[in-house]
Structure 1
Amino acid sequence: MTIPLPRRSGAVHAAGAALVAVALAASTAPAASATASTTGRDNSGQVQYVDCGAASGKENGSRNRPWRTLDQVNGLNLKTGSSILLKRGSRCTGTLAPNGSGRKGDPMVIGAYGSGAKPVIDGGGNPETLLLKNTQWVEAKDLEITNSGNPGRNKRGVRVQLQDFGTGTHYRLTGLDIHDILGDDTKGTEGSAGILFSVTGSAVPTKFDDVVVSGNTVTTVDREGIYFASTWNNRPVHGDYDPDGPAYLPSTRVVVRGNTLKDLGGDGIVITATDKTLVEHNRLDGFQRRSAGYNAGMWPWNADNTLFQYNEVSGGETTRDGMAYDIDEGTSGTVFQYNTSHDNAGGFFLVCTATGTLTDAVIRYNISRNDHYRGIETCSGSFDRVHAHNNTIYIGEGTTQTVINENTTNKHDITFTNNIIVKQGTGTATFNLKSNTVTLSHNTLHNTQNTPKNPNGTTTDPQLTNPTGTLPDALRLHTRSPALRAGTPVPGSPRRDLYGNRVGNPPNMGAYQGRGVAGPPRPTATGDVGNAS
């Protein structure tokens, strides 16, 4: 059977409020420390010590006579709740694929002992570097993971795989430094990635439950950064639906938090076949750098009720997507809030479906600065109930953007409300609307061209402050801004903005909901005059 893959080309307000409450509860899920050295239980062989630089001898896995190769560890039938501790400052080559698991209150821990730099596992060109297959109650932390050998081969840094397993519970990946995973240009359940959670097989309904991926760095990886994929993803909401394949069984209680990703060949963070996933406080800089396919920064596909918040994405390359964020096919209940985006060649946002469905999505209280090409782009298919409100899009000197770009006349049910669009300097900000199903109201559209009808809106300068400052502190409203309290209440809106200010009634236009800040507002550039519509 061909495994359906997410296509890359590419939720209501009331549901959004409920989703935030669920996600905030999920955000309290415990995560292992990403900084402290691992300590283990050294009784009855429960701790297996590994030092690949140790002198040969009669190894038995004790601290005095540690294992010297990963193959020695892989050959053990580990007791439930065993620890595997690699010596700091050491380097092991090959694949670590332990045979064991933990249990509630007694997880299997893979980590470090001693002092010094994190221990290195070098995959040596093999497909897997750290493989955790058909296990649960497992935690991996405080390791350096690399795999630059045989560049262009299908490979992964960390792969957590369940094959015909049932429900696997409790996975923690924390404090891992993953770099130079020089894989091929594939993605999916067998694709190349820094971190891959992979559900495979079709005989036993299988999913992940209770996953935390937190405080890791993922640098110089081809193709994917952090990717969740499953063969149990079949339902008619996406165009790759296979009625003869496994049914739909989403993974649950997934949190991806506080990770730093840089220099990725393809996508950054991709969530598929999950329900109520939380993706927050991640930083992505540099993606879609070496892939021939279509890739974006952070996005869900065929997943429900995903919340993306407090993330920052920059450095997307090419216009084969290349935008920071995407709400893709087969999704329902997606919320993007409190995120920032800047300097992406492909733009700010994609909302995309082709032959499947996409419903009930919310894009709110986000900031985009100097994203090129497009603000919000649609794909060839139709979708329903997408609400973009209270976002600030600043398009500075030398940047050109199509603020909303429809590439077909198909139905694109978007409401665009209380947003601020400011164009400054050379370049243009235009609209390309074709479907007559995009509804605008109460927006500030300053220095835009082909400006559509915008009831109760304005073209007046909103007086944004400090446009070149650090995000999100930049681009607030001045105390004299006409956008203060000029918006309209939006049902289901959160109580606060990304700065922590209370949302008023009526709200401000744009992402900033405070009373206004003192200081010099954005200066008017000579190029503004020529861009006025």
Structure 2
Amino acid sequence: MGLSGIRRHKAAASGTALLLALGAAAALPSFDAAADGTAAAGTTYYVDASAGSDSRAGTSAATAWRTLGKVSAAALRPGDTVLFKRGEEWNGTLALARSGTAGQPLTVGAYGTGERPVVGGGANCVWLTGSYWTVRDLRLTGCDWAGVEIEKGHHNTLEAIRADDNVVGVSIADTAHHNTVRGSELIDNNKMSVDDPGGDDDSGAFGVLLNGDDNLITGNTIAGSYATSHDYGYDGAAVEIYDGDRNRIEYNVTRDNETFTELGHDTDKTADGNVFAYNVVTSKYERGSFLVTRGPDTGLGPVRGTLVVNNSVYLPGAESQGWVCHGGCDTDILKLRNNVIAVGWKSGYEDGAGADEDTGVYDGSQHQFDAGPDSVFADPRFTGPDDLRVRAGSPAIGRGEPTGYTVDITGAPVPEEGATAGAYEYRP
């Protein structure tokens, strides 16, 4: 089937609370967003790559530090802030090993005017092993592995960052948990970490790689996770989950990725209870897929309890697929509700007993799954190839069942009854 490979690399998680009810109410993990709350004032340090000096105090723009090494070695305390000068560039790795607290997180950001500060050229652009950090307003580019690698840490927030030209935009290790990536641009992370002839081990080109538990990936733009591969022809994923449980991927806009998401795990691990909701997925490529998951009859499964609700997908390429649930698919593996999926080839595929699917709208040249009683095969009447709002007369209007989500991807309210399938609530 030409499914993309899964990297055997461990990574982490993030979040905020939600109760999702589909049929019987299923309580999703409660996430602590305290790292985003108000913090007691600490010391603010400034970093200037051109005019700074590591021998100075660093406590004002006029006495700024100069190097990443100075910041990485600094004895930062909870509540402290480090600001990098806009328009400047640093080469190497920013290592963040200390920790804040829920009430006094540590912060990295930017000051001045112009483009985001740039960190690049290291193994990781940012290597985060501490907890309770907020990292914002940086560009992280051209690193050997990740724009940000979160390792061991928890309750960290990445926001308004741009990560590009890495193997992975954000990697969250299996030793990390309860982290949040939001409002960021993860663009053209299209390098392979493994790409050699033979075998089944090519890997790379990830917007986000989740090996850990209880993370939240929300409100991001993820694009260009697409690279050539000896083993698969092409590989890449906007969000790859391997050994990660209870992660939530919500309200993201993605385009031109080889796959939106693929899930799997090692034989002694799990990748259970992950939720995908209100995401928008488009691509210009001939080949692509929305979601790939696995039953017990594969070396990377079973992946249990994946919940997929209110996603809008348009993949018009001739070899594109919607969702794939193989290797012994059943209702414990995959549940889908209120999705609108239009593809060039196969809108959905299942084997075994089949997934739990209903209230969807599907459009493709073929399908290999048993649709639920309230699903339909019809043109969803998208506004355009890059605008997946539905027009008047769409079969998606009024088709959705309650999911516990109260707003769509634009923030518009979702009615308790008669909601629109897909990521956009219909507005005349």
**Structure-1-length-normalised TM-score:** 0.60
CA–CA distance in structure 1, aligned partners of residues 157 and 392 of structure 2: 37
Cα distance, 1:61–1:269 mapped onto 2, change above 3 Å: same
Q: Percent identity?
A: 22
The residue aligned with 1:431 is none
1:259 corresponds to 2:259: no
Q: CA offset at residue 93 of structure 1? A: 1.7
Q: Quick one: which of 140, 148, 155 aligns to 1:170?
A: 155
Of residues 284, 289, 297 in structure 1, which corresponds to 2:260? 297
Within 5 Å, give how 1:80-229 maps onto structure 2.
80-121=78-119, 123-124=120-121, 126-133=122-129, 135-147=130-142, 154-162=144-152, 168-181=153-166, 192-199=167-174, 206-208=175-177, 210-222=178-190, 223-229=205-211
**2:312 corresponds to 1:324:** no
Q: Distance in 2 between matches of 1:225 and 1:315?
A: 15
Unpaired segments of 5 or more residues in structure 1? Answer: 7-12, 149-153, 163-167, 182-191, 200-205, 231-250, 289-295, 396-400, 406-413, 424-463, 519-533
- Pairing 1:358-397 to 2, within 5 Å after superposition: 359-369=332-342, 371-378=343-350, 383-384=352-353, 386-395=355-364
Number of aligned residue pairs: give it: 371
CA distance, structure 2, for counterparts of residue 368 and residue 60 of structure 1: 56
Report if aligned partners of 1:392, 1:419 keep a CA contact under 8 Å in 2: yes
1:341-371 CA-to-partner distances (Å, cap 9, x unmatched) read 11253434233343898824211111123x1
Measure the CA separation in 1 of the matches of 2:133 and 2:185: 19
Shift of 1:386: 1.4
Name the structure 2 match of 1:47. Answer: 44
Q: Deviations over 1:145-187 (max 9, x none)?
A: 1116xxxxx421111112xxxxx43110011011222xxxxxx
Contact 1:341 1:348 in 2 (8 A): no
- One-letter amino acid matched to 2:378: V
How much is the aligned-residue C-alpha RMSD, in angstroms? 3.9
CA contact (8 A) 2:39 2:103 kept: no
| Deviation of 1:51 (Å) | 0.7
- State how far apart, in whole Å, the 1-side matches of 2:104 and 2:35 are: 15
Equivalence for 1:285:
255
Q: Which has the higher contact order (CA 8 A, sep 6+)?
A: 2
Which residue in 2 is equivalent to 1:334?
Answer: 306
The higher radius of gyration belongs to 1
Quickly say closer, same or farther: Cα 1:262–1:90, change in 2 above 3 A. Answer: same
Instruction: State TM-score, norm by structure 2.
Output: 0.73
Matches within 5 A, 1:350-365: 350-354=323-327, 359-365=332-338
Q: Do the aligned partners of residues 130 and 352 (structure 1) sit closer, same or farther apart at CA in structure 2, a change above 3 Å counting?
A: same
2-structure distance, mates of 1:348, 1:362: 17
Q: Is the 1:76–1:99 Cα contact (8 Å) retained in structure 2?
A: no
Shift of 1:129: 0.6
Over 3 Å counting, the alpha-carbon distance change for 1:267 and 1:420 in structure 2 is: same
Q: Tell whether 2:239 aligns with 1:269.
A: yes
1:310-366 Cα offsets, whole Å, 9 max, x none, are 1011116454xx202233433222211111011253434233343898824211111
Change (3 A) 1:49 1:364: same
Unaligned runs of 5+ in 2: 1-6, 11-19, 191-204, 227-235, 265-269, 295-300
Please tell me the residue identity of whatever aligns with 2:345.
Y
Aligned-partner residue type, residue 198 of structure 1: A
Contact (CA 8 Å) 2:346, 2:367: kept in 1 or not?
A: yes
